[in-house]
Structures are given as structure tokens and as C-alpha cells.
Amino acid sequence: MSRTQLWVNAYEISQMYGGAEEGGWFFDAGVPIWSKPGYCSCPEMYTHSDACPITHLVKEAEEFVEGLTSTGWDDQFISRDPEEPEHRGERVYGKTAVRIEEVVGRTYPDEWPHYE
């Protein structure tokens, strides 16, 4: 049975302003905050058994992300404007995502989208 190298990547996702067209539009931009490779022998690439190393890496990544949000990590994102949510250590959008991918985590999008 062949083994496939996959990556478990965790991303911090922000919402970026794309432009004023059509009343304003936004897009997601992600920055990798955690990334580890693992080898999988499961018959289907994105369905993993409990014994699969990828399953364990997903749990590890989720624990890492949970540790960031439960230990005051958000307090680092403070603006100078007391009226802005970031001043209080709150995320304006700041989602996280854990993904199984075929490549190491990388910032996205590769190119900023433009209005057509």
C-alpha cells in the first residue's frame, strides 16, 4: 500500500477590503500559523482512520489553535484607537481554520482579487 505525504495546516484568516464596487466587497486572506507533514496510507485521501497519523496531527493542530485563543493571544492585536474592537483585544474577523492539504501551508490568496 502506498503512502502519501499530506500536510496539516492551521491558518489565521482575516477579512480584507477589496474595493468600493457594488457597495463594497471583501475577501478572506489566510496566514499559516502551524504546519506539519504526515504520511497517510488510508485508501481515500481525505477520509482518515483513528490510527492514521493525519488524524493525530489534526487534533494537535486544533489543540494549538485552542491554546492561542484561550491564553490571551488575541490581546496582542491592539490598535491605538480606543473605539476599535482591536483595542479591547477582540478580533474584528480573525477566524482560524485547520486544513489537510497536499502542500505546506502558505499565505493566500497568491494574488489579491480585483473587481471585474
Beta bridge partners, 38, equal 6
Q: What is the mean pLDDT of residues 33-60?
A: 90
User: What was the pLDDT predicted at 32?
Assistant: 95
Mean pLDDT for the chain overall: 81
pLDDT the model gives residue 95: 85
Which cell is 67 given? 491554546
Give the model's pLDDT for residue 88. Answer: 45
Domain ranges, ordered by start, for the chain: 9-101
pTM: 0.75
At residue 66, the pLDDT reads 87
> Is pLDDT above 60 for 22?
yes
Residue 79 one-letter amino acid:
S
